[in-house]
Amino acid sequence: MKRIQDIEKLSAEDLLTIGADETVPVPEDLHVSLPRRTATWGIAAAAALLIGLGGWGIAHRPAALQDTFDDPYLAYAAVEQALGQMSRSVQSAALKIDEAENLIDKYNYWK
């Protein structure tokens, strides 16, 4: 049996060749257990995402509203800083979603 690191280094052609090899035994009940696991992982991923977003919202709630700025340049700088922080948070979440999708794609490939 290969390690996951070795499998990840294989090219798509190598994986297709291995998949087409009919001498590899496949358990008879393999197709029965996969859909339940996929649904379970999907539900778990959605729950984790909702909990994470909820926790982020609670942690980043402002304690009190600040007064407006008299200087428009300072106001612009504050808006730019807030949007930059939000952008970094969204990019971080998008990377985590991409990682999860890659894992799901790898799993679905072997269905």
Alpha-carbon gap, residue 94 to 77, rounded angstroms:
25
Give the global pTM. Answer: 0.35
Q: What is the dihedral of CA 11, 12, 16, 18, to 10 degrees?
A: 20
Report the number of distinct structural domains present in the chain: 1
Containing structural domain, residue 81: 34-109
Residue 5 lies in a domain: no
- Classify residue 84: in a domain, yes or no: yes
d(CA 45, CA 18): 30
Compute the Cα dihedral for 37, 39, 107, 103 and give only its sign.
negative
Residue 2 included in any domain? no
Q: What is the pLDDT of residues 19-76, one digit of tens each?
A: 777 777 767 766 655 555 566 777 777 777 777 777 666 656 666 666 677 888 888 8
